[in-house]
Amino acid sequence: MSFFTMEQHFDRYTEEDRWVWNTLFTRQLENLQDKACSEYLSCLKAMEPVLHPHDLPNLKVLNAFLAMRTGWQIEIVPGLIPVEKFFALLSQRKFCSSTWVRSRQQLDYLEEPDMFHDIFGHIPLLLNEDYRRFMEWFGVLGCAATTSERVIALQRLYWFTIEFGVMQEEGERKVYGAGLCSSFKEASRALQPEIPVVAYDRESVMQRPFRNDVVQETYVEIRSFRQMFESVEKILVKAV
C-alpha cells in the first residue's frame, strides 16, 4: 500500500542544491565525529557508496541498497503528511522523505524538514536492527491507536527518541536523534553539561510535552537501541 506516487527528479537539481548538500554533509560529518553515537557513525560509513557529500542521494539507488540490507524503502512525500499515513508507512517499513533541499540562506534553520534532515539524519540508523524494529513496531502501535490522546502520546515518544534522542555510551552522552544529527548547532548544545537530561522511561516520555518551534529544553537519554525497542515490544506483547 502506498499513499503517494511522487518521484525524485534528479536531473533538476541545481549547482546551488549540490553546493548546499556538500556543505551540510561535509561540516556535519566533521561535527559529529565526537558527538554522535558510534553506531550512527558506523552506519553512515557503511552507506558511503550511496550516501556521501559529493552529490545528492539518488533515492532509487539508495532504495536498492536499503532493500538488500534492511528490507526498508524510502517513500517520497510532498512534505509533512497526516500522522495516520506516517504511522501506516512505518508499519510497512517505509520511511518518508522529501526531495527538496534547503537554500543557502537556510543552512542552520528550517521550519520544515528537507532531504538533508530526512536522509542524513534518519536513514543511516536503519542499518541497526533494533532501531529499525522500533520504527516498524512504533508504526504498528500508531495504526492501532484509537484515541487522539494515544496518538499524541506516541508523537511524544517519537519526538524524544527518533528526532531528538541522546544516549549513554561508555560514560559519555552522545546524540542519535535525526534532529540532532542533522543540526550543526543543536548537536553541540545537546551535549553541554548544563542542559537537563532525563533517563528514558517509555511511559514518562509519552506524557512529556514538546515544542517544535524552539530548541529542546530537556533531552531523554537511552542506554541502547535494544532498550528502546524492547520498551515498545512490551506494549504489543500485552495487546496480543
- Tell me the C-alpha distance between 107 and 25, whole Å: 11
Highest mean pLDDT among 52-66, 77-91, 212-226: 52-66
With a cut of 70, say whether residue 236 has pLDDT above it. Answer: no
Q: Identify any residues that bridge with 199 across adjacent strands, giving them in sequence order.
A: 221
Residue 111: predicted pLDDT: 76
Q: What is the pLDDT of residue 211?
A: 86
Q: Residue 100 is placed in which grid cell?
A: 527538496
Greatest C-alpha distance within the chain: 53
Q: What is the pLDDT of residue 238?
A: 54
In the chain, pLDDT over 70 holds for what percent of residues? 96
Mean pLDDT across 86-95: 97
In the block, which residue shows the cell 497526516? Answer: 82
Q: Is the dihedral of CA 215, 219, 223, 225 positive or negative?
A: negative
Q: What is the mean pLDDT of residues 194-223?
A: 93
Kindly list the structural domains of the chain, giving each domain's residue range(s) and its CATH number in brackets, ordered by start.
10-239 (1.10.800.10)
Residues whose CB is less than 8 angstroms from the CB of residue 104 and which lie 6 or more positions away in sequence, other chains included? 16, 19, 20
Higher-pLDDT residue of 3 and 62 is 62
User: Residue 108: its pLDDT value, please?
Assistant: 82
Question: pLDDT class for 110, splitting at 50, 70, 90?
Answer: confident
Instruction: Please give the grid coordinates belonging to residue 108.
Output: 542552520
Residue 3: what pLDDT?
A: 58
pLDDT bucket at 184, cuts 50 / 70 / 90? very high
CB atoms within 10 A of CB 45: 11
Residue 240 has pLDDT above 50, yes or no: no
To 10 degrees, what angle do helices 148-158 and 83-91 make?
60
Query: What is the reported pLDDT for 239?
Result: 46
What's the pTM value of the predicted model, to 2 decimals? Answer: 0.94
Q: End-to-end alpha-carbon separation of the chain, Å?
A: 24
Q: Give pLDDT, residue 235.
A: 77
Q: What are phi and psi of 94, to 5 degrees?
A: -130, 130
